A and B are shown apart, each in its own frame.
Chain A
Amino acid sequence: AQRVTQPEKLLSVFKGAPVELKCNYSYSGSPELFWYVQYSRQRLQLLLRHISRESIKGFTADLNKGETSFHLKKPFAQEEDSAMYYCALRGASGSARQLTFGSGTQLTVLP
């Protein structure tokens, strides 16, 4: 079975500080990993996916298959980054192809 773990429900950092939101997964095959974000009073939306290997709003995430992790990082946090962040996994076949979400991390960037 596939599983996504986000160990921190709440995370607070000061503006300008680095931030890392942790995500670990369990899946026996080759997964696709995603980060979704929900800003206050906005809809849940895709932030980035590991396949794209891109930086969105200064955030990056590297898939580490050895550690089965997909941590989200930003070198200098901004107040507008405050939001709920969900890590999600998509397996390779069958029902595993649907997204499995972690429990989410609420990030607060303090002024």
Chain B
Amino acid sequence: DAGVIQSPRHEVTEMGQEVTLRCKPISGHNSLFWYRQTMMRGLELLIYFNNNVPIDDSGMPEDRFSAKMPNASFSTLKIQPSEPRDSAVYFCASSGFSYNEQFFGPGTRLTVL
């Protein structure tokens, strides 16, 4: 198993553009998590899904952020419009159940100019 897969690995875009980050969880895992990593705030949970259903999106910073999980093998995190302060590394993680060990993807490094 390749583990959690994220794409792209790096994204550079201009302020105001739409950004879509993608995640493929480990096959068979029921829970998926999106995190944002910054130097100042460390790792922050943005949203998580159980069985493709969003359970807690209280960490989503504002309405510019949205996440979907149309099926058990795919999730997207979208930022529209993007701003320079969104620059960070975005991690996706999955687990068998939401309270089990989480397995992280390699992350997407986003730079908004």
Number of interface residues of A (CB under 8 A): 17
Known: A86-B43, A101-B44, A104-B43. A95 touches B104 (CB 8 A): no
B79, chain A: closest CB distance, angstroms: 21
Question: Hey, which chain B residues are within 8 Å of A101, CB to CB?
Answer: 35, 42-45
0/1 per residue, B16-53, Cβ < 8 Å to A?
Answer: 00000000000000000101000111111100100000
**Chain A residues close to B by CB (< 8 Å):** 6, 9, 43-46, 86, 90, 95, 97-104
Near A by CB (< 8 A), chain B positions 78-113 give: 91, 93, 98-99, 101-107
Question: Hey, which chain A residues are within 8 Å of B91, CB to CB?
Answer: 44
| Contact A43 B98, beta carbon cutoff 8 Å | no
Question: Hey, which chain B residues are within 8 Å of A98, CB to CB?
Answer: 33, 45, 48, 56, 98
Specify the chain B residue showing the minimal Cβ separation from A88. B43
| Contact B58 A95, beta carbon cutoff 8 Å | yes
| Contact B102 A99, beta carbon cutoff 8 Å | yes
Given A43-B103, A46-B102, A100-B45, output 13 extra A-B contacts at Cβ < 8 Å.
Answer: A43-B4, A43-B104, A44-B43, A45-B104, A86-B43, A90-B99, A95-B56, A95-B58, A99-B45, A101-B35, A102-B42, A103-B41, A103-B42
| Contact A104 B104, beta carbon cutoff 8 Å | no
| Contact A97 B98, beta carbon cutoff 8 Å | yes
Interface: B8 (CB within 8 A): no
Known: A95-B56, A97-B99. A43 touches B106 (CB 8 A): yes
Known: A86-B42, A95-B56, A100-B45. A43 touches B101 (CB 8 A): no
